[in-house]
């Protein structure tokens, strides 16, 4: 059955949603809303979409099956709750929210409305991640011993000047929410919840640009066993350098690497080497900077197929909440 979508927010990521919904044989975007009139007019004209006069106007449209929230981080919770309370299935860009309380309220709204809350976590579809997930589920990897996550990216002044909400605590939330929530999600997706977190953060190279850290380092334990560490920065010189997860397990050492968890950079296994990895999608390219892998086509397909009863939801509100809880643990450990 064809699903009709409406987009809230006309920023960079909205273009990607529009593209992949339009490319899906069972997807159609019927309209869009943004609080900035000029941006709304330009965007709706570019894609020949109906511009809703208000969020309530959009939610009152009975033809809409799914609302995609593509707005600044700090607005996700309020808009998603409005959408869910209006009886709309809702897709929220990362991060789900920038506080645990907000994420809980979103999950409660989804349960009360009996509608689906989807959280965009497209790195779960990266071929190396899928291959390692399969090894974990089969038991081949054995007991995880240590997991090391490195996220070394660049975000320059032009990035923060492009949109006034970027770099603010109220609407951005922090580097772990905006740049690196995908890496925290993969940590949770593969190995589960964490505890005994210790860490430190600092703003080393973005003074006057952002209201939070640009670098940090953490150690922790997994509740299921094993230890881990996470190091991140947005101060890599001129360009993104690395986004990797190295797994030291009972029966293998495997590094998922590249810049965006898109390659197998190292593996020594007990006879189950990962081979014939599919070519990953390119990274999201925004001109003078790059984001995570561009798997939004797979995200949209999962939304449509799961609503039609043919797939399980890849990342629901409950799992999105776990990631927000983990990020909160990281930040709390530095206080």
Alpha helices in the chain (DSSP H): 12-23, 37-47, 55-59, 76-85, 100-113, 127-138, 157-162, 175-178, 181-191, 296-307, 317-332
Determine what percent of the chain is predicted with pLDDT higher than 90. Answer: 93
Could you tell me if 115 and 145 lie in one domain?
Answer: no
Residues 228 and 256 in one domain: yes
DSSP state of 2: -
Single residue among 102, 119, 136 that ends a domain in this structure: 119
Q: Give the pLDDT score at 282.
A: 58
Among 142, 94, 112, 178, CA closest to 254? 142
Number of domains in the chain: 2
The parts of the chain modelled with pLDDT lower than 70 are 278-293
Domain enclosing residue 143, as ranges: 123-292
Indicate whether 135 and 281 sit together in one domain. yes
Residue 275: Cβ within 10 Å count: 8
Q: What is the DSSP letter of 281?
A: P
Q: Does 264 lie in the same domain as 159?
A: yes
**Residue at 324 is within a domain:** no
pTM of the model: 0.94
Q: With pLDDT > 70 as the criterion, what percentage of the chain qualifies? A: 95
> Are 270 and 217 contained in the same domain?
yes
Q: Are 129 and 74 part of one and the same domain?
A: no
Instruction: Answer with the one of 66, 101, 119 that is the final residue of a domain.
Output: 119
CATH code for position 279 = 3.30.360.10
Same domain as 175, residue 52: no
Residue 110 and residue 188 share a domain = no
Residues 9 and 88 in one domain: yes
- Taking each helix axis from N to C terminus, what angle separates 317-332 and 181-191, rounded to the nearest 10 degrees? 110
Q: Are 167 and 209 in contact (CB under 8 A)?
A: yes
Q: Are residues 275 and 218 in the same domain?
A: yes
> What phi-psi label fits residue 232: left (phi over 0), alpha (psi between -120 and 50 degrees) or beta?
beta
Residue where one domain finishes, among candidates 64, 91, 119: 119
N- to C-terminal Cα separation, the chain: 50
For residues 76 and 93, give the distance between their C-alpha atoms in angstroms, rounded to a whole number. 8
Residue written as token pair 């690497």 = 257
Residue 8: CATH number of its domain: 3.40.50.720
Residue 178's contacts (CB-CB under 8 Å, 6 or more residues apart) are: 73, 95, 166, 172
Whether 217 and 99 map to the same domain: the answer is no
Query: Do 179 and 261 have their domain in common?
Result: yes
């Amino acid at each position: 059955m064809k699903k009709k979508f409406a987009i809230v927010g006309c920023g960079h990521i909205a273009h990607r949603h529009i593209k992949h919904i339009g490319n899906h044989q069972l997807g159609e975007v019927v309209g869009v809303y943004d609080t900035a009139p000029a941006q709304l007019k330009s965007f709706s004209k570019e894609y020949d979409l109906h511009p809703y006069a208000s969020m309530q106007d959009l939610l009152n449209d009975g033809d809409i099956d799914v609302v995609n929230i593509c707005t600044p981080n700090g607005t996700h919770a309020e808009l998603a709750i409005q959408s869910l309370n209006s009886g709309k299935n809702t897709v929220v860009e990362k991060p789900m929210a920038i506080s645990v309380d907000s994420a809980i309220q979103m999950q409660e709204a989804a349960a009360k409305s009996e509608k689906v809350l989807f959280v965009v976590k497209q790195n779960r579809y990266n071929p190396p991640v899928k291959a390692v997930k399969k090894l974990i589920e089969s038991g081949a990897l054995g007991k995880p011993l240590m997991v090391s996550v490195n996220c070394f990216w660049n975000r320059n002044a032009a990035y923060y000047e492009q949109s006034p909400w970027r770099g603010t605590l109220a609407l951005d939330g922090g580097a772990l929410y905006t740049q690196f929530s995908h890496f925290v999600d993969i940590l949770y997706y593969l190995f589960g919840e964490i505890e005994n977190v210790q860490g430190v953060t600092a703003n080393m190279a973005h003074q006057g640009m952002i209201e939070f850290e640009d670098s940090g380092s953490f150690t922790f334990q997994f509740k299921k066993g094993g230890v881990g560490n996470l190091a991140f920065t947005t101060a890599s010189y001129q360009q993104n350098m690395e986004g990797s997860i190295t797994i030291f397990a009972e029966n293998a050492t495997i590094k998922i690497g590249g810049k965006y968890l898109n390659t197998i950079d190292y593996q020594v296994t007990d006879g189950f080497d990962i081979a014939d990895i599919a070519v990953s999608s390119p990274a999201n390219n925004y001109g003078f900077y790059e984001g995570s892998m561009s798997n939004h086509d797979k995200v949209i397909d999962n939304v449509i197929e799961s609503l039609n009863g043919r797939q399980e939801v890849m990342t629901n509100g409950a799992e999105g909440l776990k990631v927000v809880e983990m990020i909160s643990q990281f930040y709390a450990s530095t206080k």
